[in-house]
Structure 1
Amino acid sequence: MDGIIPLYKQKGMTSNDCVRRCRGILSMKRVGHSGTLDPNVDGVLLLCVGRATKVVNYLMDSGKIYTGEITLGLATTTEDLDGEVIETKRLVRPFTSVEISEKMQLLTGEQIQIPPLYSAVKVNGRRLYAYARAHQPVERPKRKINVAYFRQTGATTFDSATGQQKCYFEISCGKGTYVRTLATDLGRLLGVPAVMSQLTRQQSGSFKISDTVSLSQLEKLTKLDRVQEIIADLDTALQKFEHYQLDLTEWQKVRNGGFLKLQYISEKLVLTYNGKSRCIYHWHSKYLCYVPEQMIDLTEGNQT
């Protein structure tokens, strides 16, 4: 079994919990996910099974869309509601929609982001959250991110009793973006503490939340031997790349990891044979040919 399962991850589970459950349901070891979702975040989690685990990195590079809620006037250690409150500030008045939108716009495009201390980013082989829990100082790496848009999705709400304001948003962003950090950045630009109080991943690559199945649904389909109905072809992760159909001679060369002498077509090529994506090659500017980057499926070598 090879392909991509668009799973709905419920709140309270880690992404690795979902992988372990899926391995048990499918009785397969080769299962991986294409982008961590924090336990308190729900939504689309793409699981790659079988040979599709070889395209996980390409799925991770695909854009993602989230919707959520930001609370202004409150900050925590983790930048979401799971952490300890470290700062509060009563808002004298609620911010206008225009004021919030102007600051959101400043957080779009290419930018440098420092990931939260309570995150799974590794430094010297250890997760940042391990340093945080041990109260050990660590320099967090700066990472380039890209935010296509960051906008409000409805009217804000203001609680005069607590002096806190909630705003509701949608964001489209690239690989490695921490939305909870953008929530705190929004508060910083507005001059108040802020926290991400709710988040849902609505889309990952071409997969929308309406395409997903729950773990219980996956289990039922497996028992009915109908899992193939919800598994997408692994080539779904490779649609943004040019595809090239190999002839038999070229296929035999590629199966042995040989270079491919072609005119330049694009930086990366998905090489197909007998209707299947077999591998990914990239252009080598020195050798002026295509060289192997990722082998996917080298079976069926004798078919024509």
Structure 2
Amino acid sequence: MKVQKQTRSPRRQVDGVLLLDKHAGLTSNAALQTARRLLNAAKAGHTGTLDPMATGLLPLTFGEATKFSQMLLDADKEYEATVQLGVETDTGDAEGAVVATTRLPAAISREAILSVLPSFTGEIEQIPPIYSALKRAGKPLYEYARAGIEVEIEPRRITIHALELLDWNGSAFRIRVACSKGTYIRTLGMDLGRALGCGAHLSALRRTRIGPFNVTDAVSVAVLEATEPAQRDRFVASADTLVRHLAAVELGESDAGALMQGRVIRVDPAICGLVRVYEAANSRFLGLAQCMDGRLAAKRLVATTGSVQPE
């Protein structure tokens, strides 16, 4: 009996952004590949990872939108984290091996927690965890950790914009953290535990916001899977979604064509800085351009995109 070989339909061009609400236990890459398969997209990327234990907002980019991923990598973020007191792990979260246990001091209370939060607010120095993807001499730090090699890690300047106590149950507390890029919430949890005299690790972490995007607008893998394939594109926002915070410039057909060919365009001298550019006749997003002294030069252009309406 001859077995018929199944043929996979060719990947299609999908240009846009999908806000995914990642569930626990899923790596960011696995989430990306699942979404890519469900959308049958040719090209995909993400705008910063979440640890497998963590849940929440994971923006995924497809096609031409991948060119603007850096916008979210540099954006401020917001998290809700549960800090379990009395136990430290080598990774700073519940997935790591226990390295120290401490009896909780009787003095720990809601008031005690509130008293240490201000010292971790504002611009502070933070030492990244050894179990991280940061590189030293071309190798990720986690490779040194797994090999049992000790390396010196330089502290980095980060900013904690807001640090709010949400809940306290006697052995663990939940906080909301609004922070700059490069902040490790695992490290923050450990440092808070040490400040309270008992050590700590994260038992739960959820990312709720990146830049202008909120997890309330995100879709889960389960919902994406339950949606008819022909309807899944409705969850994908246009490629210019990542740059909506920039001023918009509309060009006529002739100038739009010239810009796409790499020529410098004359525009109103009042326009300056990095801008998003559209072809006025059809509201077609062309990409980003830099404007200075009335001269508009292409910065990052898209090859193909759908029709979007500039703000």
- Residue 240 (structure 1) aligned with residue 249 (structure 2): no
- Residue 205 (structure 1) aligned with residue 208 (structure 2): no
2:111 counterpart residue number = 98
Show CA shifts across 1:229-281 (max 9, x none). Answer: 21112222112211111222321221022334442534311112231331212
- Residue 109 (structure 1) aligned with residue 119 (structure 2): no
Counterpart contact for 2:271–2:294, Cα < 8 Å: no
- Residue 253 (structure 1) aligned with residue 266 (structure 2): no
Counterpart contact for 1:277–1:297, Cα < 8 Å: no
1:257 counterpart letter in structure 2:
G
Superposition TM-score, scaled by structure 1 size: 0.87
Q: What is the CA distance between 1:212 and its match in structure 2? A: 1.9
| Aligned mates of 1:119, 1:179 — CA distance in 2 | 12
Q: 1:133 to 1:245 in 2, by over 3 A?
A: same
| Aligned mates of 2:164, 2:131 — CA distance in 1 | 25
Q: 1:77 to 1:186 in 2, by over 3 A?
A: same
Secondary structure of the 1:226 match is: helix
Equivalent of residue 35 in structure 2, options 13, 22, 26: 22
- Residue 122 (structure 1) aligned with residue 127 (structure 2): no
Counterpart contact for 2:16–2:238, Cα < 8 Å: yes
Q: What is the CA distance between 1:298 and its match in structure 2? A: 5.9
Give the alignment's Cα RMSD to 1 decimal. Answer: 2.2
- Residue 280 (structure 1) aligned with residue 288 (structure 2): yes
| Aligned mates of 2:22, 2:41 — CA distance in 1 | 19
Show CA shifts across 1:180-238 (max 9, x none). Answer: 11111212333331211111112233332232222232233252x01222111222211
Show CA shifts across 1:52-98 (max 9, x none). Answer: 11111112223222112112222111111111111121123152323
2:249 counterpart letter in structure 1:
Y
| Aligned mates of 1:298, 1:12 — CA distance in 2 | 35
Superposition TM-score, scaled by structure 2 size: 0.85
Between 127-136 and 38-47, report the one with greater CA deviation. 127-136
Equivalent of residue 226 in structure 1, options 220, 227, 231: 231
Q: What is the CA distance between 1:283 and its match in structure 2? A: 4.7
| Aligned mates of 1:109, 1:260 — CA distance in 2 | 42
2:55 counterpart residue number = 42
| Aligned mates of 2:228, 2:156 — CA distance in 1 | 40
1:161 counterpart residue number = none
| Aligned mates of 2:261, 2:172 — CA distance in 1 | 58
2:276 counterpart letter in structure 1:
V
1:271 counterpart residue number = 277
Equivalent of residue 300 in structure 2, options 294, 299, 304: 294
Unmatched tracts of structure 1, length 5 or more:
159-164
Counterpart contact for 1:255–1:298, Cα < 8 Å: no
Unmatched tracts of structure 2, length 5 or more:
1-13, 307-311
| Aligned mates of 1:299, 1:5 — CA distance in 2 | 15
Counterpart contact for 1:75–1:194, Cα < 8 Å: yes
| Aligned mates of 2:44, 2:166 — CA distance in 1 | 35
| Aligned mates of 2:121, 2:272 — CA distance in 1 | 28
1:275 counterpart letter in structure 2:
S
| Sequence identity (%) | 32
Counterpart contact for 1:25–1:222, Cα < 8 Å: no
Secondary structure of the 2:208 match is: strand
Q: What is the CA distance between 1:22 and its match in structure 2? A: 1.8
